[in-house]
Amino acid sequence: MTAYLNQVRIIVWRDLTVELRSRERIAAMGGFAVLVAVLIYYAIDLTIVRPRDVAAGLIWMTILFSGMLGFGRAFAMDLEQDQLQGILLSPISRGAFYLGKTIANFALLTAVEALVFTVFGGFFNLSYGGTAWLIVAVVVATAGVAGLGTLLGAIAVHTRPSDSILPLLAFPLLIPLVIHAVMATGRLMAGRPPAEVGGNLRMLAAFAILFLAAGTVLFRYVVEE
């Protein structure tokens, strides 16, 4: 068990160290997210629509799109000098490899989310009520998105249309999760009582558990031959 956790830890360390040094993915995801926010600002007429009524949905769309951008690259970097093969030739548990990758992706997406919430808050003059529960909702939803995104990212990197196929595979599976993420985020932002989103939070947790468990079990069939 300690060996397993150690393997997870070393993968997380490696992915985040490499990302901190190259800043390739965080720059792409963050830049993309800010640009989408600008686009959205001009895409909606603020004299007709009250931004805070639609903010939750727009925020999650932005998160989802930049997430796909980053997850697609997560394994692309491992193909350089065939590092993926090198890692698979070590005795590492495939489940630990998946979880390590997922945690690194989770951390990356969380950083982008902090940026997205800040930028949307500034652009649209939003105030975030119910902060503690809002963070819970966002964290649980992000775990689900990262869990599925990492598994499908490992698939997409080995396909020819690698960048376009990831959203095509991920969105149909993720849309139901997004429904709950938007409902929970929107209501909490509007200052509604947390009890009102209890069901959404439970569904988000169910998605996160499903995707993480399926990923841990199925990952070895994706990477091994």
Partner 1 sequence: MQLTGLRRTGVLLAIPGIALVLLLHWQVFFWVPTEVTMGVIQRIYYVHVPSAWVAFMAFGIVAACSAAYLWLGDERLDMAAVSAAEGGVLFTTIVLLTGPLWARTAWGTWWTWEPRLTSTLLLWFIYVGYLLLRGATDSPQRGKRFAAVLGILGILDIPLIHLSVTWFRSLHPQAVVMRPEGPQADPSMVITLLTGLAAFTLLFFAIMTYRYALERLTVERSTAFAGTPAPSVAGGGA
Partner 2 sequence: MTLVDVPVAPAVPTVTPAPALDARELVKDFGPLRAVAGISFAMRPGELLAVFGPNGAGKTTLLRMLAGALKPTSGEVFLGSERLEPGAAEWRRSIGVLSHQTFLNPQLTAAENLRFYGQLFGLRDLATRIPERLERVGLLDRAEMRVRHLSRGMQQRLSLARTLLHDPQVILLDEPYAGLDPHAAALLNRALAALRDGERTILLITHNLAEGFDVADRLAIQVNGRFVFQGSRAGLEGGEFPRFYARVVEGASR
Residues near partner 1 (CB under 8 A) are 148, 151, 155, 158-161, 165, 168-169, 171-173, 175-177, 179-180, 183, 199, 203, 206-207, 210, 214, 218, 221-222, 225
Query: Is-contact 108 25, C-beta < 8 A?
Result: yes
User: Which range, of 1-9, 122-130, 134-142, 180-188, touches partner 2 by CB under 8 A?
Assistant: 1-9
Q: What is the 8-class DSSP label of residue 196?
A: G
Region 37-96 residues binding partner 2, contact defined as CB under 8 A: 80-83, 85-93
Please check whether residue 67 is in contact with residue 145, taking contact to mean a CB–CB distance below 8 angstroms. yes
Give the number of other CB atoms < 10 A from CB of residue 91: 6
Binding partner at 179 among partner 2, partner 1, none, C-beta below 5 to 8 Å by kind: partner 1
Structure tokens at 116: 């997205």
Q: Which of 172, 195, 221, 225 binds partner 2 (CB under 8 A)?
A: 225
* DSSP element (H, E) containing 216: helix 198-223
- Looking at the Cβ atoms of 47 and 81, the one nearer to partner 2 is 81
User: Does residue 103 belong to the site contacting partner 2 (CB under 8 A)?
Assistant: no
Tokens read off for 217: 């079990």
196 in contact with partner 2 (CB under 8 A): no
Query: Contact 133/197 with Cβ under 8 angstroms?
Result: yes
Q: Quote the least distance from Cβ 214 to partner 2, whole Å.
A: 20
